[in-house]
Structure 1
Amino acid sequence: MCAATELFSTSALAQSSVTLFGQVDQWVGAKKLSGAERAWGERGGGMQTSYWGLKGQEDLGNNLKAIFSIEGFFTANDGQAGSYKGDAFFSRNAYVGLLGDYGTVTAGRHTTPYFVSTVLFNPFVDSYNFSPIVLHTFLGLQGQGLVGDSGWNNSIQYQTPDFSGLNATAIYAFGNAAGQTGQNKWGGTVAYSRGPFAAMAAYQQVRFNFVPNDLSSVAPGFSSQQAAQVGATFDFGVAKLYAQYQYMNDSITPVGAHSNGGQIGVSVPLGTGKALASYAYTKMVGSIDATRNSWSVGYDYSLSKRTDVYAAYLNDRVTALSSGSTFGVGVRTYF
């Protein structure tokens, strides 16, 4: 019996794997967005939000694998789970699915393809403190930016195989409420990467923020939002250039709103690190008429392949509001 059990366990281990991974990012400095008060302190996620996760796969034969990933944000400065108070424990990703010759299908909670597009094509990645395009996209003008969250519950996602650098992703999220079949979220991306060039087009439409019929709590008469984005990078070796364009439309009765904007950025190798710079502009017209201009500079110094330290500054201006400036230094390590 023991020999048989040992043989079975060895065979199972040979066909499956589980990996622990993540990163921890902490910074010290002062934060002040346009129209807000300055706040000094030590916080999590200066350059990127801290997270941890477990992912694994099992070989089912015939080039088919079962896969899973459960990933959660956290703030190391206070030991709290989630990227903000009230965030889900596994808010980054929590899904299971199948990977094969015809692509990958997963079900659960997913980081949205639109969020991936936003962070891949700006030099400050997913920094909610120093990336101008992340601020414009997910915080928006006077609090009205992209709705629907950067991670979708109750969602199904399909990713195509890579076709000589070309691939696509599609996602659909259910409202999961009886009698609310029209309350949904859907979107996707088409991407191309070859050598030093990469580009991605993203689109999504949402009919609720967190639960069905809750958009009216964001703005009275708000029924849906459509958002589109294109981004590109080119690595010249001496510098990597970034560019993005974005359009959002808010369907609001009786007066809707839409915004146009974009981002340009650059990353320049300097010593054992890299200098970063980014500028973003957004103009919203309709129920809110305002413009937002934000720019940031920073330096990211590599201590090793897994650990870096950084310093960054962000300037933020919104029509009719006081200007903001955020600055600080931080350390980030991957595992």
Structure 2
Amino acid sequence: MRPTLSALAAALLLCLPIAGMAQQTGVRVYGILDVFAGSANTSGGLASRVINNGGMTTSYYGIGGKEELGQGLKTVFALEGVVRLDTGESGRFPNDPLFSRAAYVGLSGDFGTVKLGRVPNPLFQASAAVNPYAYSTRFSPLMTQLWAAPYGSAVTGDTGWSNALHYTSPTLGGVTLVGQYAPGETPGSASHNAAAVLRYEVGPLLLVAGGQRVEAGLGITSAAPRQDTWLAGVAYDLRAVKLYGSYDRNRTDLTGRRTRTAQLGLQVPSGSGRYLLAWARSREDGLNRPEFRRDTATAGYDYSLSVRTDVYAVFVYDKLSTSSDGNTTALGIRHKF
């Protein structure tokens, strides 16, 4: 017992300098742990019983904070990595970078915020703001159709950009501008990624509009060298119900692939919980292929056990016009720290 207590005391003493630094510079450790059990199936696929990571939110951990430099100027930084809670593996998939969610440092002041490094995609964040399931790439009809590989990933490119220069403007009259640029860093090539999102939020109303051009990263090949995407969305909180809607268009060069995605959703608060309903339809066509559509609808209930912990039950219906339907059911738990 004594050696164990001595080792614990030594570890605590070693942590004291780190704790002092954290207090001085505003360093914090944070994250979300989310896992669910159920049956999963997309349209045209085969159902399987699963215990899976990241139902309502992809599980992740982060170390971040700020340092006050004086006269309203401060340093901001973050290192955020994804963890697959069902297996204990790091990353969203094998060989994903350790800090695939975010890894940046920057400056913030009256001029806004500038970040350099790996930064979340502004269009991904905008689409999460205008649907009732927010960042869920498992259950949100909008997010699955735009960003999830099992649903076809209508939007090319990653949810976070490496080698990025990011700018968020000050909010004036409820209006905020977010811009991001990432050179492809390919020798002899001028390929790059660029995105801009305009956000207007006053009282219960939120409006977003933005676009991006992707020429480097996931999904970009010589056969599909560029994709342009445009998104507009709205959220309005009536207290008794919160309404959501959005419309997305994109086009991929050479392949002629075009998708148009419409989405509607709502949240209804009920005591310590909330009901969530959402539907999205994507229409897609391209060179030498007939048009087809995908309908995805989700009904769920999310109940808060505390400020940090909630449990949820979700049903997802997915149907391609060219294939049989697929149904997903899930019971999960999420904890924020």
Q: Please report the TM-score for the alignment, with normalisation by the length of structure 2.
A: 0.90
Aligned-residue offset at 1:16: 1.8
Does residue 250 in structure 1 map to residue 252 in structure 2? Answer: yes
Show CA shifts across 1:70-94 (max 9, x none). Answer: 1111111111111222221111110
Aligned-partner SS, 1:118: helix
Which of 26, 36, 44 is residue 35 of structure 2 equivalent to?
A: 26
Please tell me the root mean square deviation across aligned C-alpha atoms, in Å.
2.0
Compare 307-316 and 140-149 and name the one that shifted more. 140-149
Q: What is the distance in 2 between the residues matched to 1:170 and 1:55?
A: 21
Shift of the 97–323 alpha-carbon distance from structure 1 to 2, 3 Å rule, reads same
Aligned-partner SS, 1:125: coil
Shift of the 54–290 alpha-carbon distance from structure 1 to 2, 3 Å rule, reads same
Aligned-residue offset at 1:197: 0.7
Give 5+ residue unaligned stretches, structure 1: 1-8
The amino acid across from 2:305 in the alignment is L
Q: How does 1:164-179 map to 2 (within 5 A)?
A: 164-179=173-188
Q: What is the distance in 1 between the residues matched to 2:48 and 2:20?
A: 55
Show CA shifts across 1:194-247 (max 9, x none). Answer: 11111111210001224xxx723xxx6212000010111111010000001100
Aligned-residue offset at 1:99: 0.5
Q: What is the distance in 2 between the residues matched to 1:187 and 1:329?
A: 36
Which of 192, 201, 205 is residue 197 of structure 1 equivalent to?
A: 205
Which of 80, 95, 101 is residue 104 of structure 2 equivalent to?
A: 95
Identity of aligned residues (%): 33
Match of 1:4? none
Contact 1:15 1:59 in 2 (8 A): no
Which of 103, 123, 133 is residue 114 of structure 1 equivalent to?
A: 123
Q: What is the distance in 2 between the residues matched to 1:316 and 1:12?
A: 49
Does residue 39 in structure 1 map to residue 48 in structure 2? Answer: yes
Q: What is the distance in 2 between the residues matched to 1:76 and 1:144?
A: 23
Contact 1:52 1:73 in 2 (8 A): yes
Q: Between Structure 1 and Structure 2, how many residues are aligned?
A: 319
Aligned-partner SS, 1:223: coil
Shift of the 306–74 alpha-carbon distance from structure 1 to 2, 3 Å rule, reads same
Q: What is the distance in 1 between the residues matched to 2:324 and 2:143?
A: 20
Q: What is the distance in 2 between the residues matched to 1:234 and 1:206?
A: 30
Aligned-partner SS, 2:126: helix
Aligned-residue offset at 1:187: 0.4
The amino acid across from 2:145 in the alignment is H
Aligned-residue offset at 1:188: 1.4
Does residue 308 in structure 1 map to residue 310 in structure 2? Answer: yes
Contact 2:76 2:108 in 1 (8 A): yes
The amino acid across from 1:135 in the alignment is T
Aligned-partner SS, 2:145: helix
Aligned-partner SS, 1:119: helix
Match of 2:329? 327
Show CA shifts across 1:71-130 (max 9, x none). Answer: 111111111111222221111110000001101111000110010011111111122221
Q: How does 1:287-298 map to 2 (within 5 A)?
A: 287=287, 288=289, 289-298=291-300
Q: What is the distance in 1 between the residues matched to 2:151 and 2:56?
A: 23
Q: What is the distance in 2 between the residues matched to 1:222 and 1:23?
A: 35
Contact 2:131 2:265 in 1 (8 A): yes
Match of 1:276? 276
The amino acid across from 1:298 in the alignment is G
Match of 2:237? 235
Match of 2:191? 183
Aligned-residue offset at 1:164: 2.5
Which of 156, 167, 180 is residue 158 of structure 1 equivalent to?
A: 167
Aligned-partner SS, 2:328: strand
Does residue 71 in structure 1 map to residue 80 in structure 2? Answer: yes
Q: What is the distance in 2 between the residues matched to 1:286 and 1:77?
A: 37
- Runs (4+) off by over 4 Å: 9-15
Give 5+ residue unaligned stretches, structure 2: 1-17
Shift of the 233–147 alpha-carbon distance from structure 1 to 2, 3 Å rule, reads same
The amino acid across from 1:282 in the alignment is S
Match of 1:58? 67
Q: Please report the TM-score for the alignment, with normalisation by the length of structure 1.
A: 0.91
Contact 1:192 1:199 in 2 (8 A): yes
Aligned-partner SS, 2:226: strand
Contact 2:145 2:151 in 1 (8 A): no
Aligned-residue offset at 1:279: 0.4
Which of 135, 146, 163 is residue 137 of structure 1 equivalent to?
A: 146
Match of 1:6? none
Show CA shifts across 1:148-179 (max 9, x none). Answer: 11111100000101113110100001112221
Shift of the 60–322 alpha-carbon distance from structure 1 to 2, 3 Å rule, reads same
Contact 1:141 1:284 in 2 (8 A): no
Q: What is the distance in 2 between the residues matched to 1:330 and 1:139?
A: 19
